[in-house]
Amino acid sequence: MKKAILLIASVILTLAVINSCKKETKSSGDGKIPWEGVEGQVKEFTTFNKERLAFGTGKKQTSLKSFMLHDEPRNVQNIKMYIILECPTGGCNAWDVYANIKVKDKKSGELYEIGRFITPYGVDNSAYPDGYEIDVTDFKSLLTRKTELRARIETWGSDGWELTVKFKYTLGKPDYQYYAVNDLMRYDEWSTSGVPYGVSHSKDLTRTVTIPNNVAATSLRTIISGWGHTTPTDVDGRPCAEWCFRTHKVKIDGSDKFSHQMGAMGCNTNPTNNQAGNWQPDRAGWCPGMEVPVRTDNFATSMAGETFTFEYSYQPWTSNGGSTSGTVGAYYATSCFVIIKSNSPIFKPVVID
């Protein structure tokens, strides 16, 4: 009798789940499945178009504009962002400089870094036929309908670059219909507004995070690049933080959970091999004339309904106040976000400083 009751209860529960899933895949009003009739389609959007970013003589390093993007995030399988750099009349700026693209969170008004790149020395990036490619699917809840984007190139010359940013949305049944994102760290405005390395500082590197109950998958998304030529150098002569190879940790509930190795990326294999500067030697986790890697850390469980502590832990090292370039200071420009996914509507995770 007991087995029969359990079997009936199991069947009822299964039918309820199936019915719930059916409801979740329908859009409100018309009863259509969001990806019905669009499977495999690719939609392209050009946002910034030959946007001149420079410094001085009335030019600006930053541009903030609104654009219309794809209107249904629930049928998006992936979004790729492509960054194209062209030289203005007279040529590109001579230096490899920090640059990024951000999207404005419509509710909080905060700007979230969706991609970072380093400009090549004095040339365009036409060696990349489509431009630098960065997967920005994590931000599909924000990259929809009317969207504000900010582009910045930290160049200090009146030449600069002409920037074009394109998005390609591949449509179809996604891994999960609903995504949400919240920021954990946003020390990424400029190359030297990151976290000071090897010295005491006031940057807050810890957070408390609560994940909604109906979440099916949770991950962290980090972009990090080191700057500065501060001593003491490593045994191979590399100063910090641009050149010194390090392994940083993400701590969850006080224990090391994920590792980020800031090591060699093979800068000398860069397709942009005609750069007019010192582009070939390996930096710590980035290269001149390339996109900066996105580091994705997936939790083994959904983390649904859980509260945990987060801490970004930089490998210990102490500066002696010297420099190999004459400018003292080592920094890690760091952005980190918590991404959640579900097949039912979700609120963004709660993050407390």
Give the number of C-alpha atoms closer than 13 A to the C-alpha of residue 187, restricted to the C-beta side.
22
250 neighbors 315 (Cβ within 8 angstroms): no
Locate all alpha helices (DSSP H) within 70-192, ordered by sequence: none
Respond yes or no: is residue 44 known to be catalytic. Answer: no
Respond yes or no: is residue 72 known to be catalytic. Answer: no
Phi/psi at 74 (5° precision): -75, -15
Respond yes or no: is residue 154 known to be catalytic. Answer: yes
For residues 244 and 241, what is the distance between their CA atoms, to the nearest angstrom? 6
Q: Which tokens is 158 given?
A: 């009146």
For residues 334 and 91, what is the distance between their CA atoms, to the nearest angstrom? 30
- The catalytically annotated residue of 124, 154, 183, 291 is 154
For residues 105 and 93, what is the distance between their CA atoms, to the nearest angstrom? 31
For residues 331 and 228, what is the distance between their CA atoms, to the nearest angstrom? 6
171 neighbors 338 (Cβ within 8 angstroms): no
- Amino acid at position 41, single letter: Q
Question: Which residue is listed with tokens 């920037």?
Answer: 163
How are beta strands 111-118 and 62-68 bridged, if at all?
Answer: unpaired
- The catalytically annotated residue of 188, 242, 291, 311 is 242
**Cis omega (within 30 of 0) for bond into 151:** no
Q: How far is residue 78 CA from its own chain's centroid?
A: 14
Q: Which residues are catalytic?
A: 96, 154, 242
